[in-house]
Amino acid sequence: MRRIAIGQAGGPTVVINSTLVGLVKQLKDEYELRFIEDGFEGLVDEKYKVDHEETIDWIIQQEDRAGACLGSGRYHMTAEDIHAVIQFLKRENISTLIFIGGNGTMEALYKIHLEAEKQDYDLQIIGLPKTVDNDLYHTDHAPGFGSSAKYVAHSTRDLSYDLQSMKNFEQVRIIETMGRNAGWLAAASGYLKKKEFEGPHYIALPERKLCEKGLTRAVKNAVDQFGYAVVVVSEGVQWQNGSQIERAVVNGRTVLGGISDEIADYLRGKLHLTVRAESLGINQRCATSLVSSIDKKEAYLVGEVGAKWVGQNLNNVVATIQRTSEENYNVEIKPVPIKDVANSGERLMPDEFIDNLDKYYEWLSPLIEDIE
């Protein structure tokens, strides 16, 4: 019986466990499974669960909860680590490695592939996508993004109505979203806006430098017209004459955050209004109350299709989501070489969406609307 190692890595999404469950349900009767704990750190430390029936049952029961149930985390593997990983896989007779993750994960998988070749070890590798930032190339969108976009859109609408009713107490609210260097999530904040008076009145995306004058003008206009202003800013935004704001550096990875506080300080000084910075925080990637049903379905499907590829001996591929028609929303899961995804870097929002948010919202609609 072939033996497969399975892991989850990077920041969790609210549907990352659906991908795992879709995968495991397909594989469990035909293969021996090893569940790597805590992502690549666990792979290096050889920490795993074997596929006892209780473990399989337990995993299947975790589908609806937040977090990555195997443990994910962030860990930067050294060349030495990767060498040891291949030794471990050989020793354990593991012929297939499947990881669910984002850009960092795909880069790591590609390095593992190169090392396996070097050590002449015949290793099948499959990458399954997840990211709330939607910054993976070669896939129309990644599982996890739709639910987070739904969360950002709902929160912005609710926070906007809340602020409107409190405008004699507080006039400006700066909502900070996730997204790293890509604006997909921040831009989703306007998806539910139906009327001009509703927020957001200004959206700052990391793809464009933040212009102080434009921001001030937009806020002043909204306050003059409606009595209040809602600004949405992505964590990766930088001022025209500034750099990104780092909340912390952990294990060599920069955690962005804090630009909303800077904007609040700036506007307070400039306009003498009450301004509050409001970070949407980690809830963006873990709120089980706002899961998009289509996102969940696709997350599951990606796992299921990835599992089928094991038997078909597809190798070094990422399971990507491709739309099949412009008319009715429908998708196919297609293999793309891991190398291509790993080498493409972060996928930013294209100009055609940034310059025409309505076009973006049309694209986004099927990922958020709960159609069923």
Please report, as ranges, the residues that interact with a second copy according to CB under 8 A.
Answer: 8, 11-12, 14, 38-39, 41, 65-75, 154-155, 157-159, 161-170, 173, 248, 250-251, 253, 274, 276, 278-283, 285-290
Whole-Å CA distances, 150 to 153, 185, 293? 5, 9, 11
Nearer to a second copy (CB atom), residue 105 or residue 279 = 279
Nearer to a second copy (CB atom), residue 163 or residue 317 = 163
Stated as kind and residue range, the H or E segment containing 94 is: strand 94-101
**Nearest distance from residue 283's CB to a second copy, in Å?**
6
Q: Would you call 6 helix, strand, or coil by DSSP?
A: strand
Nearer to a second copy (CB atom), residue 113 or residue 157 = 157
Active site residue 133: yes
Nearer to a second copy (CB atom), residue 277 or residue 321 = 277
1, 6, 9: which is closest to 41 by C-alpha? 9
Nearer to a second copy (CB atom), residue 140 or residue 278 = 278
**What are 250's strand-pairing partners?**
253
**What are 203's strand-pairing partners?**
232
Q: Write phi, then psi, for 6 (nearest 5 degrees).
A: -130, 135
Chain center to CA of 35: 22
Strand runs labelled E in 210-360:
229-234, 246-250, 253-256, 275-279, 317-323, 331-337
d(C-alpha 92, C-alpha 111), whole Å:
20
d(C-alpha 54, C-alpha 93), whole Å:
23
d(C-alpha 134, C-alpha 151), whole Å:
14
**Nearest distance from residue 203's CB to a second copy, in Å?**
18
Residue type at 230 in one-letter notation: V
DSSP 10: B
**Nearest distance from residue 200's CB to a second copy, in Å?**
15
Q: Write phi, then psi, for 231 (nearest 5 degrees).
A: -110, 135
Nearer to a second copy (CB atom), residue 10 or residue 335 = 10
**Nearest distance from residue 70's CB to a second copy, in Å?**
8
Of these residues, 38, 51, 133, 135, which one is catalytic? 133
Residues with a catalytic annotation lie at 133
